[in-house]
Amino acid sequence: MQTWQLQEAKNRLSEVVRHAHQEPQLITLRGKEEAVVLSFDEYQRLTQPRKTWAELLGEVAQTGIELDLGRSRDVGRSVDL
């Protein structure tokens, strides 16, 4: 991730945005990490609603893949303390 000081990022905003298509760009203010510029596609990927466990299982069921969801009956082993 490339780092930009805020003043430099302001002066070269087009370049910062262009680089954001390859990887997020970190912007600092007085040496402290303040903001990240990323592509819109990456933003959408990160903010899309997550699916519930039930929705994921439903999608797997539609593919025809068999899942073994049985629980192990193993109770572990005894340990002398």
The pLDDT of residue 73 is 85
Max CA distance (Å), the chain? 67
At position 66, the amino acid (one-letter code) is E
Question: 72 in a domain, yes or no?
Answer: no
pLDDT in tens, 14-31: 999 999 999 999 999 999
Which of 61, 22, 15 is closest to 39 using CA atoms?
Answer: 22
**CA 48 remoteness from chain centre:** 11
CA angle 11, 12, 18 (to 5 degrees): 155
Q: Considering the domain boundaries, does residue 21 fall inside one?
A: yes
User: Is 51 a member of any domain?
Assistant: yes
Asked if the structure places residue 37 within a domain, the reply is yes
Closest CA to 30 of 10, 13, 5: 5
Q: pTM value?
A: 0.62
CATH code at position 25:
3.40.1620.10
CA pair distance 15, 50, nearest whole angstrom: 32
Q: Which residue range is the domain that position 18 belongs to? A: 2-63
Q: Is residue 10 part of a domain?
A: yes
The yes-or-no verdict on residue 4 having pLDDT over 90 is: yes
Total number of domains in the chain: 1
Residue 71 is assigned to a structural domain of this protein: no
Percent of the chain with pLDDT strictly greater than 70: 100
Per the model's pLDDT, the better-predicted residue between 29 and 65 turns out to be 29
